[in-house]
């Protein structure tokens, strides 16, 4: 498929199929190209995450599933960090490197991140990489010396697990289960940032608007009509998920 060149300044992790990554994440590009923050967080919510992480001059910071790089960029505006963002979508990394060119950007699977130690590790919205909340928290904790942040879905109540039935989201944890998971890994929760309903709705509406504008700008793309016609199903999916789930970011200390 046609795509821009990958800048030489984006490092490619060993084993990464670059052409496959361009094609695989093209639908995500169609649905998120208007986003600055690729998660259901407001700008103020993200600022709270950054403030609680408390980056300091000289900190090594790793952001897995970095998206458009907004979290790392804001951390770099707060302190002189040595920041690295990793994502498997070359599309998002083009925006990340434009947003913060002095930071390091890696193309590859987050699970293939080299074993190393950073002061701060984060993963907002990429818990699928390590099979869920606890696996992601464990992976972040294994690589962090001071603090982590993890953003994921959580069940509103234990009853919602039953209500979701066989849906994949039924595997999400409750708030109490997330806290227990963190503490079992010697992580001490500092704060939980829970965006209000407007944040998730705003994120979702921008997905729909991204789909519309993509379809208008790419009338010859065979997938454009499909993307544009998916609005009804996307709205139904939003209503289904928000009835049973919340989105949350935990910031925790490594103890």
What is the residue extent of each domain of the chain?
10-198+236-254
The pLDDT value given to residue 214: 87
Distance separating alpha carbons of residues 18 and 16, to the nearest angstrom = 6
What's the rounded Cα separation, in Å, for the pair 129 and 86? 12
Q: What pLDDT digit, counting tens, does each position of 108-163 carry?
A: 999 988 888 999 999 999 999 999 999 999 999 999 999 999 999 999 999 999 99
CA distance 145 to 128: 23
Does 229 have pLDDT greater than 70? no
Q: Which of 66, 7, 79, 72 is nearest to 39 (CA)?
A: 66
CB neighbours of 219 closer than 8 A, spacing ≥ 6? Answer: none
pLDDT band of residue 219 (cuts 50, 70, 90) is confident
The token duo for 223 is 């997938």
Asked whether the beta carbons of 210 and 33 are under 8 A apart, the reply is: yes
Contact 27, 230 (CB under 8 A): no
Across the chain, mean pLDDT equals 93
- What's the CA gap between 116 and 144, in Å, rounded? 9
Mean pLDDT of 221-234: 64
Tokens coding 175: 């708030």
Q: What is the pTM of this model?
A: 0.94
The two beta strands, 10-12 and 104-107, are parallel
CB 80 within 8 A of CB 103: no
User: What residues have CB less than 8 Å from 249, skipping those under 6 apart?
Assistant: 41, 45, 49, 124, 149, 150, 151, 192, 193
How many Å apart are CA 111 and CA 109, to the nearest integer?
5
Least confident of 2-11, 101-110, 221-230: 221-230
Res. 233: pLDDT tops 80: no
Fold of 10-198+236-254: Rossmann fold (3.40.50)
Q: In what order do the strands lie in the sheet with 10-12?
A: 10-12, 104-107, 82-87, 60-64, 118-124, 144-155, 245-254, 187-193
């Amino acid at each position: 498929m046609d795509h821009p060149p990958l800048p030489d300044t984006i490092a490619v992790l060993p084993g990464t199929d670059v052409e496959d990554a361009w094609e695989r994440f093209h639908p995500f590009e169609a649905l998120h190209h208007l986003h600055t923050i690729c998660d259901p967080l407001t700008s103020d919510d993200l600022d709270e995450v950054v403030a609680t992480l408390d980056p300091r001059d000289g900190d090594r910071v790793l952001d897995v599933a970095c998206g458009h790089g907004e979290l790392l960029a804001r951390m770099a505006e707060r302190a002189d960090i040595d920041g690295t963002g990793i994502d498997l979508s070359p599309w998002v990394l083009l925006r990340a490197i434009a947003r913060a060119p002095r930071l390091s950007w890696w193309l590859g699977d987050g699970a293939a991140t080299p074993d190393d130690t950073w002061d701060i590790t984060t993963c907002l919205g990429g818990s699928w990489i390590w099979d869920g909340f606890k696996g992601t928290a464990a992976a972040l904790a294994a690589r962090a010396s001071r603090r982590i942040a993890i953003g994921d879905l959580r069940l509103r109540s234990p009853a919602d697990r039953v209500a979701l039935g066989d849906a994949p989201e039924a595997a999400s944890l409750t708030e109490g289960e997330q806290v227990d998971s963190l503490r079992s890994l010697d992580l001490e929760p500092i704060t939980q940032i829970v965006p209000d309903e407007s944040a998730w709705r705003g994120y979702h509406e921008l997905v729909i608007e991204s789909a519309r504008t993509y379809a208008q700008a790419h009338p010859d793309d065979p997938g454009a009509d499909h993307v544009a016609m998916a609005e009804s199903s996307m709205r139904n999916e939003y209503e289904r998920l928000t009835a049973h789930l919340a989105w949350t970011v935990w910031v925790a200390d490594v103890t």
